[in-house]
Amino acid sequence: MTHFKEKDPRRVYTGGAGWPFIESADYLNDPNARIQHWGEGLRSIINTSAPQTTFDFRHIIERVSMPYVSHEIGQWCVYPNFKEIEKYDGVLKAKNFEIFMESLEESGIGHLADSFLLASGKLQALCYKADIEAALRTPQMAGFQLLDLHDFPGQGTALVGVLDPFWEEKGYISPEEYSRFCNETVALARMEKRVFSTGETFEAKVEVAHFGNEILSDPDIRWKVSTQWDTLIAEGSFEKKEILLDNEQDLGSIHIPLDHILYPLQLTLEVSVNQFSNSWDFWVYPEVKAELDKGDVHVTGVLDQAAQKVLNDGGKVLWALQKNTLSAASGGDIEIGFSSIFWNTAWTSGQAPHTLGILCDPEHGALATFPTEYHSNWQWWDAMHHGQAIILNNFENKIEPLVRIIDDWFENRSLGLIIEAQVGEGKIIVSGADLLTGFEDRLEAKQLLNSLLNYMSSSQFQPAENISINELERMVK
């Protein structure tokens, strides 16, 4: 290090990419400042901490005596894009993709390949946004290094890019969308949570990270909160004489009472600094009584004799599986979390999480009062955190889930988070997410359970396929 610094002092030097720490280096390139570490599995901050945007890495870089650049952050995966196969028109062929596509067809869900790509891609982009913004929120952090912007076909098939190996877009995020959170100037919001009840006040501390060519004088800083349909809820502006070349620059705070919200909403906070804009989704749910109105639905965490009697008598059962009760053969050994897969399971000896988020129909009656898109967003964190993936291939009849989980492309099992079925004369919804344990303190669980109960009490609840009691019993340990 010393030799080369003396030989060519025009450059800045470090000991290597990721390690080691060398005192004579000009900066440290280190892998610890990221939201998912190698071998961390479901213990990572993105999979253990309820949705929020306050965390940063100052506790890591404060221990380092030189500029700190994080090493290979991200590594978030997306489902393969099988349309890429035709691009390999030279000596190299995408044989791995051909194998994955054949496996998906064998599971009877080949028609979902494009939907898996887009839904998992939305989750991948969300994870990258969380990773990059955490770095930008960290005071005195010198920079971050992504593993990649595009996929790496080797090392077990590392589909970690928002671009394919040919540096082309995949269709789920544009350069303009990506540059909202990864740019020379990025608006940031520190929110202690993303899910609120109508009795609360939405609060956010707004900051900016600016590393452009010059200081911004008298910047135009505006914010607004709007619905999914662009209906304006609130708006405002901040005054600041100048924005320096730095981060953790406070712009102001936002406080919005939510007592005027009458029904479940997904809202978006957008902050703009001159031409640079960024945004964050959050959710507001009406306050739900401690005891839900279950109507004529029997709600249970176990398929006991009482639940079976209701089904045999032609009644309705909502079975919310208790965590860790699903048998291995039914999916109990599939470790799911909120985030996407890290790097890939083949090259990490099966590191969790093993799945790529959810896929659903946002217009389905079961989700009528649980606002959602077709893909994972932060309101699904609670269900995935308390959830298990149900293997649908085991059932005699083909079950189309209300909410599907996207499996790892090496396995390509047909997986469900929430399913419905006819059981003899009765009807059932089985939720792989435990919606009952700690119910009182889980706003998302309350709202999702309420939405399912409303659906089950309506004329829309007409499951198309049959599952036997014996099949249900075999699901659990």
CA-to-CA distance for 306 and 312, rounded, in angstroms? 10
Peptide bond into 20 cis (omega under 30): yes
Cβ-defined contacts of 93-96 (< 8 Å, 24+) = 94/153, 96/153, 96/157
Tokens of 242: 């100048």
Using only C-alpha atoms, the chain has a radius of gyration, in whole angstroms, of 24
Neighbours of 462 (CB within 10 A): 9
Q: Could you tell me which residues are beta bridge partners of residue 433?
A: 387
Strands 415-423 and 426-431 turn out to be antiparallel
pLDDT in tens, 215-272: 999 999 999 999 999 999 999 999 999 999 999 999 999 999 999 999 999 999 999 9
- Domain boundaries, given as residue ranges, for the chain: 12-178, 185-285, 297-473
**pLDDT per position in the chain (477 positions), as tens?**
889 999 999 999 998 888 888 999 999 999 999 999 999 999 999 999 999 999 999 999 999 999 999 999 999 999 999 999 999 999 999 999 999 999 999 999 999 999 999 999 999 999 999 999 999 999 999 999 999 999 999 999 999 999 999 999 999 999 999 999 999 999 999 999 999 999 999 999 999 999 999 999 999 999 999 999 999 999 999 999 999 999 999 999 999 999 999 999 999 999 999 999 999 999 999 987 767 778 999 999 999 999 999 999 999 999 999 999 999 999 999 999 999 999 999 999 999 999 999 999 999 999 999 999 999 999 999 999 999 999 999 999 999 999 999 999 999 999 999 999 999 999 999 999 999 999 889 999 999 999 999 999 999 999 999 999 999 999 999
Instruction: Report if pTM > 0.75.
Output: yes
Q: Identify which of 72, 80, 190 has the alpha carbon closest to the alpha carbon of residue 128.
A: 72
Rounded Cα gap, residues 184 and 200, in angstroms? 34
Q: Tell me whether strands 201-210 and 185-190 are parallel, antiparallel or unpaired.
A: antiparallel
Instruction: Extract the tokens encoding 19.
Output: 């390690």
Of 2.40.160.50, 2.40.50.140, 3.30.1240.10, 2.60.40.1930, which CATH number belongs to 185-285?
Answer: 2.60.40.1930
Return the closest-CA partner of residue 454 out of 235, 292, 247, 263. 292
Residue 293: predicted pLDDT: 79
Measured CA to CA, the distance from residue 473 to residue 393 in angstroms comes to 16
Cα–Cα distances (Å) from 138 to 98, 188, 253, 463, in that order, read 42, 11, 18, 50
| Cβ neighbours for 467, distance < 8 A, ≥ 6 positions apart | 395, 396, 397, 399, 421, 422, 423, 428
40 Cβ partners below 8 Å, 6+ apart? none
pLDDT computed for residue 290 by the predictor: 64
* CA dihedral (322, 323, 327, 330) positive or negative: positive
Q: Render pLDDT for 20-62 as a digit per residue (tens, 0 to 9).
A: 889 999 999 999 999 999 999 999 999 999 999 999 999 999 9
pLDDT of residue 137: 98
